[in-house]
Structure 1
Amino acid sequence: MPTLLKRLQRVTPQQLRAFESTARLRSVTRAAQELHVSQPTVSIQLREIALAVGEPLFETVGRQLRLTQAGEAMQDAANEITGCWQRFETRMAEVHGLLRGRLRIAAVTTAEYFVPDLLGPFAAAHPGVDIELTVENRDRVVDRLQRSRDDLSVMMLPPDELPLDTFPFLDNPLVVIAAADHPLAGKRLTLSRLAKARWLMREPGSGTRMAAEQHFARVGFEPHIAMSLGSNEAIKHAVSAGLGLAVVSRLAVADIVDTPSPARGPQLVQLKVSGFPIRRQWLLVWRRDQPMSAAAKRFVSYLRESRPSRASLAH
């Protein structure tokens, strides 16, 4: 009987692509659409690769497709194989004096307000580089870092347990916002004045929430958390509706606070609270123990040279 290694050597690139797409999209139908093949074709390729492994790679829970333990191991291997080929492609481009390849960046959700503005000029200057941008909350970005899914990550609070290099490239002040008609708007406040206020927070796992909770713990303040919301936009809408106060990145509200709509007037205000803004920085993060692609190296150099400011990234 062939050993596992010999069976795996028979796995074809088409089977591996079918598995990778299905594992990432959690759907045979969507994988078939992405690969421009029929659904039965993907199903056959998945069955053949499962036979080669000798273990089921997926299980169905309700209507959801979920990876088995063997499937998770195969996904990690597939990601490593894909990364290896991408590094080879980049190396060959370097040999020919070209900057080509793929730049994969994962950014936490608040960074969506400025990362596209960083990537635009870089993409224009390097048309041979395909850029993949993934926006997730901090927990998911950390998970992607652990799995080496991306070349670079953008976040405030990188994990301590991974071998990482970081480059701080942009200030990220965190401020307290309220509805424009809040009775305390325009006054100088201490946190103790806000002890009975309703606070709206990002979901657990959010970098902004972690930074706010660290600050509150440091100064001995316990906010009354009335609601947790999953996005900055949801926070802004809830605050403008008078549901409470929130700590957000200044970048997330600059367009509303600094340039309110002439028709509707200001919807949000930044409260003058002692201890705020909380001084944080946006970091470019990458794995120190993984080889860095030429495109990633060039993007880091681009950021070091351009040194973007909040003003240059304001919409």
Structure 2
Amino acid sequence: MHYTLHQLHIFLKIAEKQSITKASIELHLTQPAVSIQLKNFQDQFPIPLTEVIGRKLYVTDFGKEIAIAAEKILEEVKQINYKTLAYQGELSGVLKISVVSTGKYIMPYFLSDFIKQNSGVNLILDVTNKAKVIDSLEKNTVDFSLVSVLPDKLQIEKTKLMENQLYLVGNSDQKFTKKIYNKSIFTELPLIYREQGSGTRYTMEKFIEKNNIPVSKKMELTSNEAVKQAVIAGLGYSIMPLIGIRNELKTGRLQIIPVEGFPIKSNWNMIWLKNKKFSLVANAFLEYLEEEKNTIIKQKFDIL
């Protein structure tokens, strides 16, 4: 057998996506190129790796076993590369971070220079909701998690990155002329919520519950971007993190409605499991954060 690492990589992606088309998109290759490599790889085995039923591709049981082996081989190759860089005196390895969805507006700024300075570091950044972020932390599949609401059932350590501010926002169609409104305004405005498990949803509901505010729930959407577009379109109002609506405020597509008790304030925290044994990469990133976070905040976020 004379299969290549390239073929192993392509077959593993096909097995993951159950589709040549989807694999080609993710690999940035043409569909014919992926099909040719799959055929060349298949020709080296007497047992089918895949089968097509109707128009759908399925990986056979044998193919699944080969995919597992391919993943192990490719992981070993990564480790060889990391060890080579380490012997050359370069920081190398994988940095794994899970981030709540609104955290995507700040996390890249805290990562950018670190990744540029350490070319041997590969980044895996998972952007999802709070519940899934905490789940990944609990299962110890990530080095760090970025949250604005701390978990109450995990023993963690943390470092504060920056303040998080949430405001009541709407589009620019309606004029709000008062200097400040009392909380009764919520009875007049249909609210758009994030999904259950979202940190923004949690903070929003805690504020409403604490202040005993009667609200009209208009709809529930599963991402900050979806909520933002719905508000811009005039489907309702929402309580949103300032960090995620800077551009829309500048262009006038959104407006902050001044309400007593706002902004709701919390902190963005980088958290990790207590007593976690850090890799060299994770430890270096934590040291970088402690040294550079104030400079990054001043350069990138002082305009807020």
The TM-score range, normalised by the shorter chain, is 0.7 to 0.9
Q: How big is each residue's C-alpha offset from its partner over 1:149-173, in whole Å with a ceiling of 9 and x where there is no partner?
A: 2222111123222332211111111
- Flag the 1:147–1:248 CA change in 2: closer, same or farther, 3 A: same
Q: Distance in 2 between matches of 1:180 and 1:164?
A: 42
Other-structure match for 1:285: 271
SS state at 2:184 partner: helix
Other-structure match for 2:218: 226
Other-structure match for 1:12: none
Other-structure match for 1:112: 104
Q: Which amino acid aligns with 1:146?
A: E
Q: Distance in 1 between matches of 2:143 and 2:173?
A: 44
- The alpha carbon displacement at 1:91 in A equals 8.0
Other-structure match for 2:124: 132
Q: How big is each residue's C-alpha offset from its partner over 1:3-44, in whole Å with a ceiling of 9 and x where there is no partner?
A: xxxxxxxxxxxxx9999868865769867996x9989x99xx
Other-structure match for 2:185: 193
Q: Which amino acid aligns with 1:240?
A: I
More displaced, 289-298 or 223-232? 289-298
Aligned CA RMSD, in angstroms, stands at 4.4
SS state at 1:183 partner: coil
- Residue 134 of structure 2 contacts residue 151 of structure 2 at CA under 8 Å; is this kept in 1? yes
Residue 228 of structure 2 corresponds to residue 242 of structure 1: no
Other-structure match for 1:313: 300
SS state at 1:279 partner: strand
SS state at 1:98 partner: coil
- The alpha carbon displacement at 1:175 in A equals 1.0
Q: How big is each residue's C-alpha offset from its partner over 1:64-99, in whole Å with a ceiling of 9 and x where there is no partner?
A: 99xxxxx9xxx9xxx99x999989987886676431
- Flag the 1:84–1:234 CA change in 2: closer, same or farther, 3 A: same
Unmatched 5+ residue regions in structure 1? 1-15, 43-62, 66-70
Aligned ranges 1:30-109 → 2 under 5 Å: 97-109=89-101
1:174 to 166, 169, 172: 166
- Residue 90 of structure 2 contacts residue 118 of structure 2 at CA under 8 Å; is this kept in 1? no
Q: Distance in 1 between matches of 2:140 and 2:77?
A: 14
Q: Distance in 2 between matches of 1:23 and 1:156?
A: 36
Unmatched 5+ residue regions in structure 2? 1-7, 39-55, 59-63
SS state at 2:124 partner: strand
Q: Which amino acid aligns with 1:172?
A: N
SS state at 1:189 partner: coil
Q: Distance in 2 between matches of 1:25 and 1:110?
A: 27
- Flag the 1:87–1:211 CA change in 2: closer, same or farther, 3 A: farther
Q: Which amino acid aligns with 1:118?
A: F
Q: How big is each residue's C-alpha offset from its partner over 1:270-305, in whole Å with a ceiling of 9 and x where there is no partner?
A: 111111111111111222354211111111111111
Aligned length: 287
Other-structure match for 1:268: 254
- Residue 106 of structure 1 contacts residue 133 of structure 1 at CA under 8 Å; is this kept in 2? yes
Q: How big is each residue's C-alpha offset from its partner over 1:43-75, in whole Å with a ceiling of 9 and x where there is no partner?
A: xxxxxxxxxxxxxxxxxxxx899xxxxx9xxx9
Other-structure match for 1:159: 151
- Residue 87 of structure 1 contacts residue 293 of structure 1 at CA under 8 Å; is this kept in 2? no
Q: Which amino acid aligns with 1:313?
A: K
- The alpha carbon displacement at 1:135 in A equals 1.3
Q: Distance in 2 between matches of 1:310 and 1:182?
A: 33
- Residue 185 of structure 1 contacts residue 271 of structure 1 at CA under 8 Å; is this kept in 2? no
TM-score of the aligned structures, taking structure 2 as reference length: 0.72
